[in-house]
Each structure stands twice: as C-alpha cells, then as structure tokens.
C-alpha cells in the first residue's frame, strides 16, 4: 500500500517508524494488527484504504503519554474538560487526533474522527471510523469473551459489529464498576438500542 492521496505528509513506512519509536513493542505490534484487520474490512466494505491505514497506525499514538502531559494538553487544546474526571483510556483517542493534526498536518476529518472516537465511538461515525472502532476490538490478539461473535458480525455487517461492541463495552464497564464516559452511552443509545 503506497500513500498517494496526500492525507499525510508521511509515507506509510515513515508513519510506521514514528509509531515504532513512540510506542512500546507490545503496543506497536497491536497497531500493526489493527491495520491489517482494518484493511480487510476496508476491502469488504469499500472504504478508502489510505485513510483506514493512517487511522489504524495512528489510533493509539497518544496511548502511552504520561498522564500529566495528557492533562495539560486537554486544557491547552480546549478539549472537553469533563474528560479530566475519567482516565487516560478516555483521553488518548481525542489527544491522538489533536497530536496527529498538530505534529504531522493530518487534516482529513474521517481520519481524525476515526482516531478521536476509536475508544468510545460516537452516534455518527464515518465508515472509516466504524472500521477502526471494530478492528481495534477484533484484532487477532484480542481474547475478550464475545470477540468471536464480534468477528463474525464484522464479516457480514459492520454496523451490527459496532452495535455489538458498544453493548459489550458498556456491559463490561458496568460489571467492573467503572465510570462510563457519557459519549459511550450516546454511542450505545444510537447504535445498540432496539427502536420501540
Ligand atoms: P486500546 O487502546 O487498544 O487498549 O483500546 P481502546 O482505546 O478501545 O480502549 C481502552 C480501554 O478503554 C478499554 O479497556 C475500554 O474498555 C475502556 N473504555 C471504553 N469506554 C470507556 C468508558 O466510557 N469509560 C471508561 N472508564 N473506560 C472506557
Ligand atoms: Fe486505544
Ligand atoms: Fe476500541
Ligand atoms: Fe488500540
């Protein structure tokens, strides 16, 4: 896959090198698996390969930044201050989008949205964002209970896979007595609730 559409000033191999230098080995291998998984979904659902590749490789860019640096950025970048009540699991998506834009001039809204919402989803997600949300959950190393069901749904109907993952996320957060970020509930209400 050669980037030819200028969504990024980087080549794919430069982007991979940046991620390898920034992330732990474990996390670096994860983003490569997410890219592979996401590109298969892009083929299946006819999404833009380049956008999907960039978003997949960059989605966890901010994941391993120190909490203090993340807090400072949430304030200086005027992000939702309510996020500060949650943890870095909630911060790294929105911050990854901001940092890829600031540091590497990625401007494409579908790419940035896919990075921003990959953890909590959003009531409205582009096909690229749906693919990253699903690929992050089903990549081959994931072993959550239910991941096989999500993999099967992803092969036939990406939207039902998004719904399944949103429901699974909310339900496992509840089981673990973990604080739920309101956007996760908005995603659940938009994607996973039966219409009355
Ligand atoms: P990863 O970065 O590849 O590990 O995956 P994600 O970014 O998708 O998720 C990171 C973690 O955030 C997972 O353990 C999710 O269960 C968790 N998470 C997702 N939604 C919420 C939420 O609303 N609140 C909290 N506290 N955690 C969440
Ligand atoms: Fe993540
Ligand atoms: Fe995820
Ligand atoms: Fe991830």
Tens-level pLDDT at each residue, the chain (196 residues)? 999 999 999 999 999 999 999 999 999 999 999 999 999 999 999 999 999 999 999 999 999 999 999 999 999 999 999 999 999 999 999 999 999 999 999 999 999 999 999 999 999 999 999 999 999 999 999 999 999 999 999 999 999 999 999 999 999 999 999 999 999 999 999 999 987 6
Domain-located, residue 113? yes
In this structure, is residue 4 part of a structural domain? Answer: no
pLDDT at 133: 98
- Does residue 180 belong to any structural domain of this protein? yes
For residue 33, tell me if it sits in a domain.
Answer: yes
Residue 139 lies in a domain: yes
- Single pTM value for the model: 0.97
* Domain span at 165: 12-191
User: What phi and psi, each to the nearest 5 degrees, are found at residue 101?
Assistant: -70, -50
Domain assignment present for residue 53? The answer is: yes
pLDDT reported for residue 170: 98
Is 7 contained in some domain? no
Distance CA 183, CA 144 (A): 22
Distance 122 CA to ligand 2 centre (A): 15
Query: Is ligand 1 within 6 A of the CB of residue 130?
Result: no
What ligand is nearest to the CA atom of residue 89? Answer: 1
Kindly tell me the sign of the dihedral angle through the C-alpha atoms of 12, 23, 163, 141: positive
* pLDDT value at residue 194: 85
CB 86 near ligand 1, within 6 Å: yes
* Ligand 1 pocket, residue 8 CB under 6 Å: no
Q: 24: Cβ below 6 Å to ligand 1?
A: no
Q: How far is the CA of 131 from the centre of ligand 1 (A)?
A: 16
196 part of a folded domain: no
Its ipTM equals 0.98
* Most ligand 1 atoms within 8 A of CB, residue of 89, 96, 143, 161 to mutate: 89
Domain count, the chain: 1
Report which protein residue has its CA nearest ligand 1's atom 25. 180
Which ligand has the minimum distance to the alpha carbon of residue 56?
4
Domain containing residue 41: CATH number:
1.10.3210.10
């Amino acid at each position: 896959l050669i980037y030819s559409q200028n969504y990024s000033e980087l080549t794919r191999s430069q982007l991979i090198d940046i991620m390898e230098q920034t992330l732990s080995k474990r996390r670096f291998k994860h983003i490569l698996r997410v890219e592979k998984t996401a590109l298969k979904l892009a083929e299946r659902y006819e999404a833009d390969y380049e956008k999907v590749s960039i978003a997949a490789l960059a989605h966890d860019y901010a994941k391993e930044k120190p909490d203090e640096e993340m807090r400072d950025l949430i304030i200086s970048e005027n992000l939702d201050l309510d996020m500060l009540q949650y943890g870095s699991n909630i911060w790294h998506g929105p911050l990854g989008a901001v940092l890829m834009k600031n540091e590497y001039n990625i401007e494409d809204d579908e790419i940035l949205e896919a990075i921003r919402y990959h953890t909590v989803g959003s009531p409205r997600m582009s096909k690229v964002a749906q693919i990253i949300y699903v690929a992050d959950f089903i990549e081959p190393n994931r072993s959550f209970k239910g991941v096989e069901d999500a993999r099967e749904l992803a092969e036939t109907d990406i939207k039902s896979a998004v719904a399944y993952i949103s429901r699974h996320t909310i339900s496992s957060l509840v089981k673990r007595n973990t604080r739920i970020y309101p956007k996760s509930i908005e995603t659940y209400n938009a994607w996973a609730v039966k219409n009355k």
